[in-house]
Amino acid sequence: MAHISFDASKLDKFVHDNELGEMQALVNAADAELRNGTGAGSDFRDWLNLPEDYDKDEFARIQAAAKKIQSTSKVLVVIGIGGSYLGAKMAVDFLHDTFYNYLPDDQRDFPQILFAGNSLSPSYVHDLIHLIGDRDFSVNVISKSGTTTEPSIAFRIFKQRLIDKYGEAEAKSRIYATTDQKRGALKSEADAEGYESFVIPDGVGGRYSVLTAVGLLPIAASGIDIDQLMTGARDAMNAYTDTDLTKNEAYQYAAYRNILYRKGFTTELLENYEPNMQYFAEWWKQLMGESEGKNEKGIYPSSANFSTDLHSLGQYIQEGLRNLMETVVFIDKPNHDIDIPKEDGNLDGLQYLEGRTMHFANTKAFQGVTLAHTDGNVPNMSVHIPDQTPYTLGYLIYFFEVAVAISGYLNGINPFNQPGVEAYKTNMFALLGKPGFEELGEKLNKRL
- Active site positions, annotated: 290, 425
| Alpha helices (H) in 39-167, listed in sequence order | 56-72, 86-95, 122-132, 149-166
Angle, helices 278-292/86-95, rounded to nearest 10 degrees: 150
Please give the C-alpha separations between residue 346 and each of 97, 326, 355, 358, in angstroms, as whole numbers.
32, 36, 14, 18
Angle, helices 390-410/24-36, rounded to nearest 10 degrees: 110
Please give the C-alpha separations between residue 37 and each of 25, 31, 244, 331, in angstroms, as whole numbers.
18, 10, 20, 35
* Pairing outcome for strands 324-331 and 380-385: parallel
Q: What one-character DSSP code corresponds to residue 273?
A: S
- Describe the strand order of the beta sheet including 137-142 as a list of residue ranges: 112-116, 75-79, 137-142, 175-179, 196-199
**9 cis-preceded (ω within 30 degrees of 0):** no
Are the CB atoms for 227 and 233 separated by under 8 Å? no
Are the CB atoms for 395 and 233 separated by under 8 Å? yes
Q: How many CB atoms lie within 10 A of CB 160?
A: 11
Are the CB atoms for 409 and 30 separated by under 8 Å? yes
Are the CB atoms for 145 and 83 separated by under 8 Å? no
Please give the C-alpha separations between residue 216 and each of 101, 141, 358, in angstroms, as whole numbers.
18, 13, 33
Residues 6+ apart with CB under 8 A from 39: 30, 33, 409, 414
Beta strands in 99-239 (DSSP E): 112-116, 137-142, 175-179, 196-199
Residue of 56, 86, 150, 111 lying closest to 400 (CA atoms): 86
Cα–Cα dist 265/313, whole Å: 17
Instruction: Report angle CA 136, 140, 146 to the nearest 5 degrees.
Output: 135
Cα–Cα dist 405/7, whole Å: 20
